[in-house]
Structure 1
Amino acid sequence: MVTRTVLITGATSGIGHALYEKYVAQGDNVIACGRDKSKLDKLCSKAFKTLVFDMTKPAQIESASVDIKDIDILILNAGDCRYIDDAKHFDGKLFNDIIATNLSSLGALLEFFLPLINKGGQVVFVSSSATIVPFPRSEAYGASKAGMDYLANSLRLDLVAEDIGVTLVHPGFIKTPLTEKNTFDMPFLLSSEEAATRIFTGVNRRSKYLHFPKRLTLTLKLFSFLPAALWQSLILRK
């Protein structure tokens, strides 16, 4: 089996860490990325390389990319989730922070890492099933992930000539440090390990689109075809 070089952002926790473990076990060279050096240091024994940078600081990403020669799979997984709790008194700073972390940062990540991807390689965008239908309090998070969706789907068209595939991932509720803060019900909750297994399998198949668990995502897709008034009444029902 050919050894691949896999770069993963957000590799110190949640889905990113589970993917790190999956690719390391496969024997691939994993470049683990994060902003917490102390957490990355714990991965050094098995990681091919570790890169420390804040995704919202392009200069740090550029500096971190200098020693990377080539990449086979680029997994853009890191992100943040915070909610707009009072829509009328809209928190513009929170909104901008989430957009900067989840969406704007992708520009610099692609600028410095995309040119390093080998022909036949892949870019994987870990988005969210929250983009299928709108949810209350999710103005910032949902907008950032919807932007990621469009970016991934558009980039896929332009990378055909480069023989680089693009995989867009819509996970449902996954047990991570981010979702542990949620105070609402999370139906069909999966572990990070289960999510990583599904992503790993789909990327190996060079799937263009992954969504799971289907009990949730197909239900949301069905709801998206309902009249807006009916969907709104369902989502707002206490």
Structure 2
Amino acid sequence: MRIMITGATSGIGKALTVAYAGAGHQVIACGRSADKLDELKQESSHIDSLCFDLTDFDNYPNLASEQTGLDLLIFNAGDCEYIDDALNFDAKRFERVININLISVAYGLQAWLKHLKPGGRLVLVSSSARLLPLPRAEAYGASKAALSYLGRTLAIDLEKHQLAVTTVHPGFVDTPLTERNTFTMPMIVSSEQAAAKIIQGLDKGLDEISFPSVFIFFMKCLRCLPFSWWRKIAKRIV
């Protein structure tokens, strides 16, 4: 298979890149750090790279002829910044998160979706945060909820083009992003474990991949509570 992965230089993206390349697939790794991309390429001859900023559409690279005809297009890149003072809402911070987590995906869809072969699959890495309104997550949660909605609508509209869509909803994953968190992260899994779950789900052709299963079950149960009840619980989380 030929696979394109954004956010490939760390966390889940890097684990997916290494795993797929190790299995003999050709991977196009996308990221902003030339040094980290070079390190990835040294790990396997099956890894090519594209170095650019996903939020800068005017400077998107064109795919070389040998890089077209994708079987998997995985949008994994993302960031998280918290809104620490909702009363003094930080619109620029909100904009940064929305741009990388959502708008850049739209840029990528415009640039690369047409390179997916019939029978190929688009993968959007969202988050279990879309299930519940969480404290300080106004920007991150909104971006991931929108990304999940985008995935479901694309699944409907792309079916006639013989393209499948999978949306991924991880719980807490040990990445450089979550290392910045100062709160307890229950049932956290490693990037390698997350990548294995995603690959396993994609091999099965799943429309949605959510993990860890117990964590997701509890999140869905909490979502069934009246919002007034959940609000009291969420305030205790803070």
TM-score of the aligned structures, taking structure 2 as reference length: 0.96
Write the deviation string for residues 25-55 of structure 1: whole angstroms up to 9, x where unpaired: 1110011110111110111232431001101
CA distance in 2, matches of 1:76, 1:137: 24
Cα contact 1:53–1:64 (8 A) shared by 2: no
Letter in 2 for 1:65: L
Give the Cα–Cα distance (whole angstroms) in 2 for the partners of residues 60 and 8 of structure 1: 18
- Cα distance in 2 for residues equivalent to 1:156 and 1:32: 24
**What CA distance in whole angstroms lies between the structure 2 residues aligned with 1:102 and 1:60?**
18
The answer for the alignment partner of 1:189 in structure 2 is 188
Q: CA deviation at 1:70?
A: 1.4
Letter in 1 for 2:36: K
The Cα of 1:153 is off from its aligned counterpart by 0.4
Q: Which amino acid aligns with 2:176?
A: P
Q: 1:78-117 maps to which residues of 2 (within 5 A)?
A: 78-117=77-116
List structure 1 runs of 4+ shifted beyond 2 angstroms.
Answer: 63-68
Distance, in Å, in 1 between the alignment partners of 2:52 and 2:63 is 10
Q: State, as a whole percentage, how many aligned pairs show the same letter.
A: 45
Which ranges in structure 1 are unaligned for 5 or more consecutive residues? none
Q: Number of residue pairs matched?
A: 234
* Two-structure CA RMSD over aligned residues (Å): 1.0
Contact 1:173-1:189 at 8 Å conserved across structures: yes
8 Å CA contact 1:52, 1:64 repeated in 2: no
Aligned to 1:24: 21
> 1:34: which partner in 2?
31
Instruction: Answer yes or no: is the 8 Å Cα contact 2:40–2:47 preserved in 1.
Output: no
Q: Is this contact kept in 2: 1:33–1:50, CA < 8 A?
A: yes
How far is 1:10 from its partner?
0.7
Letter in 2 for 1:18: A
Q: What amino acid is the match of 1:133?
A: L
For 1:144 and 1:92, locate their aligned partners in 2 and report how far apart those are by CA, in whole Å.
Answer: 14
Q: What is the CA–CA distance in structure 2 between the aligned matches of 1:42 and 1:25, rounded to whole Å? A: 15
Provide the C-alpha distance between the structure 2 equivalents of 1:36 and 1:64, rounded to a whole number of angstroms: 18
State the Cα distance separating 1:66 from its structure 2 match: 4.7
Matched residue, 1:53: 52
1:189-213 Cα offsets, whole Å, 9 max, x none, are: 1000000000000011110001110
How many angstroms apart in 2 are the aligned matches of 1:100 and 1:78?
Answer: 11
201-210 or 64-73, which deviates more: 64-73
Q: What is the rounded CA distance, in whole Å, between the counterparts of 2:82 and 2:47 in structure 1? A: 36
The 2-side partners of 1:228 and 1:78 are apart by 31
1:24 maps to a residue whose letter is: A
Relative to the length of structure 1, the TM-score reads: 0.96
Matched residue, 1:177: 176
**Which residue of the partner structure matches residue 137 of structure 2?**
138
Structure 1 residue 9 displacement after superposition: 0.4
Distance 1:158 1:16 in 2: 26
